[in-house]
Amino acid sequence: MTIFFDNKVRFLVIDDSDIIRNVIKNFLKEYNIEVIMSSDGLEGIQKAIEYKPKLIFLDIMMPNLDGLRMLKVIKILDDLKNIPVIVISGHTDKKNVIEAVESGAVKVISKPLTKAILIKSIKEALGDNFFSELGNQKLLSNEEKKEIKETIKKLFISNLPSKIEAIKDALVGEKRELLKTIIHELKGSSGTVGFRNLSRICTEIEGKISDNNNDWQTIENSIENLFSEIEVLEILNSK
């Protein structure tokens, strides 16, 4: 394993959603920051040790090692314990926020993400002068910003068929927790790229899945509404 000791500023983004990872990377594209990405907690620990990032963005719900457990591991490792960690969550209720802060997070931010929220949280973690001290900023033109936005939306749309298949598989097996995880990720990523209605539908479905009083048919009916909304998005964005 190569350990990086150069002066380059690196952030590590650990999230199982490739949309969220790429959104953060593109938000920070105009600054001289290298964004390292990881899709699960175990790999994230390895990359944190390898790259020694200046800041870590960490999702709560992930495969293999969830965010809160990973955060606790980071804070007992001498090489990593002083790296600020910003937790990203679709569930920023009081319990989750308290648990994340108690586990060592400097900040908890909610999905959907915006650049304003991201920049504000970085300044709170690293200081108000962080961006001005970076220097060598590459200011993006409006055309470049528009191109980045469209690229992220296309990436999101291209991933929808695989999400639909995963949802169908979870429905067939009546796998409530798996379905909840898929819908949760879809909720966060759709809201972040600007598909607010899809995110709202996912929020409603997530609530129904969490309520054990709802039978499986009720959940399946809600999923049909979700599929209809996805079909509309695919048609609109294919033009």
* Together in a domain, 112 and 152: no
CATH of the domain at 198: 1.20.120.160
Please check the confidence at residue 5 and state whether its pLDDT lies above 70.
Answer: no
- Whether 130 is in a domain gets the answer yes
Q: Domain range holding 115? A: 10-134
Question: Binning pLDDT at 50, 70 and 90, where does residue 26 land?
Answer: confident
pTM of the model: 0.77
- Whether 211 is in a domain gets the answer yes
Terminal C-alpha separation, the chain: 46
- Whether 38 is in a domain gets the answer yes
Boundary (domain end) residue, out of 134, 163, 198? 134
- Whether 3 is in a domain gets the answer no
Boundary (domain end) residue, out of 114, 134, 154? 134
CATH of the domain at 86: 3.40.50.2300
* Together in a domain, 189 and 126: no
pLDDT single digits (tens) 108-119: 888 888 888 999
pLDDT single digits (tens) 132-184: 877 655 666 778 778 878 888 888 898 899 999 999 999 998 999 889 888 98
* Together in a domain, 128 and 220: no
Count of domains in the chain? 2
